[in-house]
Amino acid sequence: MDEFAWASAVGRIRVLEKGLLSKQELNRLAESRNLEAAIGSLRDSVYGPYFARLENVEDFDVALERFLADSYAYIGSMAPEPLVITAYRARYDFHNLKVFSKSRLLGIPREDKALSLLGNIRPEDFIGFLDTIDRDRDAGVARDTSLEDEKSERPDLVELKSVLARTYETLKSRVVNDANNTLGLSPLELDSLVDRAFYGWAQGVFRRFGYDGVSDFLSSEMDILNLKMALRAKRLGLPCSLFSNLALPEGNVPSEVLVDAYGKDGEKIKLAYKGTPWERLASEGVALLERGERLTAWEKSCDDALFRLIKKARILPLGPEPVIGYIAAREAEVKNIRIILAGKQSELSAGEIAERLRESYV
Partner 1 sequence: MFGGLTGMLVLFGLLVSFLALGTAAFFGEVLGGNGIALIGAGLAVFLSGMGSTIGVGIAGEKAAGITAEDPEKFGRLLLLQALPGTQGIYGFLVGFLAMFRMGAFSGGMNLTIDQGWQFLFACLPVAITCLVSGLYQARVSIAGMDIVAKHPEESGKALILPAMVETYAVLGLLASVLLLMFAVKV
Partner 2 sequence: MEIRVNATRQELTRLKARVRMAKRGHKLLKDKRDQLMKEFLAIVHESQRLRQELEKKLSLAYKSFSLARAVLSPPALEEALMVAGGPEEVSISYRHIMNVVVPEMYITGRSPAQGSQPEEGRVMLPTYGLASTSSDLDDALAQFRGIMPLLVRLSCIERTIQLLADEIEKTRRRVNALEYVLIPELEQAVKDVEMRLEEMDRANASRLMKIKDIVRAH
Contact positions toward partner 1, by CB under 8 A? 1-4, 7-18, 78, 315, 317-318
The rounded distance, in Å, linking the Cα atoms of 40 and 126 is 36
Nearest distance in Å: CB 50, partner 2: 15
* Shortest distance in whole angstroms from residue 168 CB to partner 2: 16
Alpha carbon of residue 240 to chain centroid: 25
Here the contacts of 199-203 (C-beta below 8 Å, separation 24 or greater) are 199/248, 199/249, 199/250, 200/249, 200/250, 201/87, 201/90, 201/163, 202/87, 202/88, 202/90, 202/91, 203/250
Q: How far is the CB of 233 from partner 2 (least distance, A)?
A: 7
Element (H, E) at 354: helix 350-356
Q: How far is it, in rounded angstroms, from Cα 312 to Cα 295?
A: 26
- 108 is an interface residue for partner 2 by CB under 8 A: yes
Q: Residue 147, interface with partner 2 (CB under 8 A)?
A: no
User: Considering the rule CB under 8 A, would residue 291 count as an interface residue with partner 2?
Assistant: no
Q: How far apart are the first and last CA of the chain?
A: 28
- CA 231 to each of CA 154, 208, 224, 245: distance values in angstroms, whole numbers, following the listed order: 41, 32, 11, 15
Among 2, 36, 58, 111, binds partner 2 (CB under 8 A): 111
Give yes or no for residue 69 binding partner 2 (CB under 8 A): no
81 binds partner 2 (CB under 8 A): no
Shortest Cβ distance from residue 163 to partner 2 (Å)?
A: 17
C-beta closer to partner 1: residue 213 or 266: 213
Number of residues interacting with partner 2: please give it, by CB under 8 A.
51
Fill in the amino acid letter for 61.
Answer: D
User: Among partner 2, partner 1, none, what does residue 192 contact (CB within 5–8 Å per kind)?
Assistant: partner 2
Distances, alpha carbon 329 to alpha carbons 309, 318, 361, in Å: 11, 17, 6
What's the rounded Cα separation, in Å, for the pair 129 and 349?
Answer: 45
Residue 295 interacts with, from partner 1, partner 2, none (CB under 5-8 Å by kind) = partner 2
Q: Smallest distance, Å, CB 49 to partner 1?
A: 17
Distance in angstroms (rounded) separating the CA atoms of residues 68 and 117: 9
CA distance readout (Å), 41 to 44, 169, 345, 348: 7, 48, 15, 19
**294 binds partner 2, rule: CB under 8 A:** yes
Least spacing, CB of residue 30 vs partner 1, in Å: 25
When computed from its CA atoms, the radius of gyration of the chain, rounded to whole angstroms, is 21
Stretch that binds partner 2, among 6-14, 133-141, 226-234, 271-279 (CB under 8 A): 226-234
Diameter over CA atoms, the chain: 61
- Whether residue 224 contacts residue 302, with contact meaning beta carbons closer than 8 Å, is answered with yes
Q: Which of residues 324-353 bind partner 2 (CB under 8 A)?
A: 335, 338-339, 342-343, 345-346, 348, 352-353
Chosen from partner 1, partner 2, none, partner binding at 33 (C-beta under 5 to 8 Å by type): none
Q: Tell which one of 83, 121, 229, 332 touches partner 2 (CB under 8 A).
A: 229
User: Pick from 228, 268, 312, 314: which binds partner 2 (CB under 8 A)?
Assistant: 228
- Residue 178 as a binder of partner 2 (CB under 8 A): the answer is no
Helix segments in 31-122, DSSP class H: 35-41, 48-52, 60-78, 82-105
Q: Is 240 in the site for partner 2 (CB under 8 A)?
A: no
Nearer to partner 2, 157 or 339 (CB): 339
Interface residues with partner 2 (CB under 8 A) are: 61, 65, 95, 98-99, 102-103, 106, 108, 111, 113-116, 186-188, 190-192, 194-195, 225, 228-229, 231-233, 235-239, 242, 246, 248, 294-296, 299, 335, 338-339, 342-343, 345-346, 348, 352-353, 356
